[in-house]
């Protein structure tokens, strides 16, 4: 065999564990069709975090309206985008260097499984003992008339100019997070939702709080709607070229601007109409498909080894093993029933390194915190409130720590959490609504995983002021009141 393990894909689901296999003496090949590091590093979470941060700061500054705020905080999207492109452009070369540092071989091209022990990359074929599929997910683009006018998350996160009026199809992580950016930028958006709730995996009373904030900032929501078609309103030979020409003409960088670009403002400002089956019709200048993501397995040769997949991915057992014993799936492409997050992908990859070295039993998972990076944030970890509220095994305690400690929390008066405890008063879950909900969620993840008791929390001394300390001080009331 040429290799002991071949990873198809180079994201966190691959190299995080691959380096340990190489350190243990195994020969490892990583196959990558696009940029090293995959979606999160180059087109996803890193980019979103960078572009979101200034709008988060703007929202925090707005908390001091009338009590200290002296001027407007404005985000320069063009400068921010230029910074983003320079920063993210370094990610793939950085990881290339890391792969060299870890002595991991790399083949650049599409990896296709030929048989149980062979992977083809371009004109080359490599043999291996084990194959690990780490191809992740791709955006869902509905098969409807006008689908060519839809933009996915990658497009939005690299757009030269924020749209004046966006139409967002979907209200999951991507749709709601983009809506928050547009709201803070003072722009408009219509959000079309197929069902009756947004961010369905999060605590709905907190989701509703975010929706109400967005509504106040020109974001409109349309529930129980199914998109039928997208119409280009301007008769031109190549509508996408027309929009690109607009962006070229508006580019502030003289070296990038196309002096011959022909601009039709109608094509940009009112260029597209989204029609729904109900008869709802919305017009805007940019349409985003934020309808979730599906397994990215097209053309990788699953059929050659008798494997199949669903939108959720490739079915695996408790060892991340597919129906073909020497072929595994790791990260988002693995259908495990666990949240598809980069943190879970890293967990998979490190586990799989031990599994392939014969050092692991079935995979287990700690509680997994999940965060919607809306403004403000929403987070969930452990037993969700909707489960606890329907069960006699748990109690739910509401902690409005922002109301009590608003000055210490940068005037974030609305910050709160719902803490779920079992009958032994052990914390087993939390829902958080706050500007820095992600940090509070990590605190609860530690408490839950380590089974730290209320009595032990009460004994500890915390740095004050901080969001974690004021939340924990309020948490003590559960201990004192019982």
How confident is the model over 299-319, as pLDDT tens digits? Answer: 999 999 999 999 999 999 999
Q: CB-based contacts of 101: which residues, under 8 Å, 6+ apart? A: none
At 19-71, the pLDDT tens digits run 999 999 999 999 999 999 999 999 999 999 999 999 999 999 999 988 888 88
pLDDT score for 244: 53
Which pLDDT score is estimated for 270? 73
Tens digits of per-residue pLDDT, 327-382?
999 999 999 999 999 999 999 999 999 999 999 999 999 999 999 999 999 999 99
- pLDDT of 150-185, one tens digit each? 999 999 999 999 999 999 999 999 999 999 999 999
Question: Dihedral of CA 169/171/173/177: which sign?
Answer: positive
H-run or E-run covering 33? none
Which position has the higher pLDDT, 458 or 196? Answer: 196
Distance of CA 233 to the CA centre of its chain: 32
* 119 within 8 A of 113, measured Cβ to Cβ: yes
Whether pLDDT at 265 is above 50? no
Q: Quote the Cα angle for 223-226-231, to 5°.
A: 115
Could you tell me the pLDDT band of residue 478, with boundaries at 50, 70 and 90?
Answer: confident
Q: How many CB atoms lie within 10 A of CB 397?
A: 17
- CA distances, 330 to each of 12, 46, 156, 333 (Å): 9, 20, 27, 6
Q: What is the pTM of this model?
A: 0.90
- Nearest Cα residue to 351 out of 329, 370, 368, 325: 329
Dist CA 242 CA 148 (whole Å): 14
State residue 479's pLDDT score.
Answer: 63
pLDDT at 254: 40
Residues in the chain: 482
Residue 296 CB partners (closer than 8 Å, separation 6+) = 135, 136, 137, 138, 333
What domains sit in the chain, N to C, each tagged with a CATH number?
3-138+293-356 (3.50.50.60), 147-233+270-289 (3.50.50.60), 376-481 (3.30.390.30)
The DSSP code sequence of 193-213 is -SSS-SSTTS-HHHHHHHHHH
Distance of alpha carbon 419 from alpha carbon 57, whole angstroms: 27
Query: Tokens representing 292?
Result: 């979730």
Task: Output the average pLDDT for the chain.
Answer: 91
Which of 333, 316, 322 shows the shortest CA–CA distance to 137? Answer: 333
pLDDT tens, residue by residue, 210-242:
999 999 999 999 999 999 999 999 754 454 554
């Amino acid at each position: 065999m040429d290799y002991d393990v071949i990873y198809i894909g180079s994201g966190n689901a691959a190299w995080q564990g691959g380096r340990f296999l190489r350190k243990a003496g195994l020969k490892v090949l990583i196959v990558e069709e696009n940029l090293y590091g995959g979606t999160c590093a180059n087109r996803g979470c890193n980019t979103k975090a960078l572009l979101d941060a200034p709008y988060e700061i703007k929202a925090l500054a707005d908390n001091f309206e009338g009590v200290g705020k002296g001027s407007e905080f404005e985000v320069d999207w063009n400068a921010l985008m230029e910074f983003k492109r320079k920063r993210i452009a370094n990610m793939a070369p950085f990881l290339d260097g890391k792969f060299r540092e870890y002595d991991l071989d790399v083949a650049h091209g599409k990896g296709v499984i030929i048989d149980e022990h062979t992977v083809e990359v371009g004109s080359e074929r490599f043999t291996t003992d084990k194959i690990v599929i780490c191809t992740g997910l791709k955006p869902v683009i509905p098969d409807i008339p006008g689908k060519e006018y839809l933009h996915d998350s990658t497009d939005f996160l690299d757009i030269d100019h924020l749209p004046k009026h966006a139409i967002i199809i979907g209200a999951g992580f991507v749709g709601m997070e983009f809506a928050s950016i547009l709201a803070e930028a003072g722009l408009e958006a219509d959000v079309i939702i197929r069902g009756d709730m947004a961010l369905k995996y999060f605590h709905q009373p907190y989701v509703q709080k975010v929706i109400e904030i967005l509504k106040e900032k020109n974001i409109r929501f349309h529930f129980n709607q199914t998109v039928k078609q997208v119409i280009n309103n301007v008769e031109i030979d190549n509508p996408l070229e027309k929009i690109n020409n607009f962006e070229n003409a508006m580019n502030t960088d003289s070296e990038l601007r196309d002096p011959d670009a022909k601009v039709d403002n109608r094509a940009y400002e009112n260029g597209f109409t989204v029609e729904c089956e109900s008869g709802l019709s919305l017009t805007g200048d940019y349409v985003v498909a934020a309808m979730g993501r599906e397994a990215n397995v097209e053309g990788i040769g699953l059929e050659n080894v008798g494997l199949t997949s669903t939108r959720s991915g490739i079915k695996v057992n408790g060892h991340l093993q597919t129906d073909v014993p020497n072929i595994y799936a790791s990260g988002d492409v693995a259908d495990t029933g666990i949240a598809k997050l980069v943190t879970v992908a890293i967990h998979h990859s490190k586990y799989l390194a031990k599994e392939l070295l014969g050092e692991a039993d079935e995979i287990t998972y700690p509680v997994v915190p999940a965060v919607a990076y809306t403004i403000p944030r929403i987070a969930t970890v452990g037993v969700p409130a909707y489960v606890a509220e329907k069960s006699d095994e748990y109690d739910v305690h509401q902690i409005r720590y922002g109301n009590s400690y608003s000055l210490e929390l940068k005037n974030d008066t609305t910050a709160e959490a719902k803490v779920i405890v079992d009958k032994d008063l052990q914390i087993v879950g939390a829902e958080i609504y706050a500007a820095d909900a992600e940090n509070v969620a990590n605190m609860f993840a530690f408490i839950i995983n380590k089974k730290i008791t209320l009595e032990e929390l009460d004994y500890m001394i915390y740095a004050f002021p901080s969001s974690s300390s004021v939340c924990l001080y309020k948490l003590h009331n559960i201990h004192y009141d019982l």
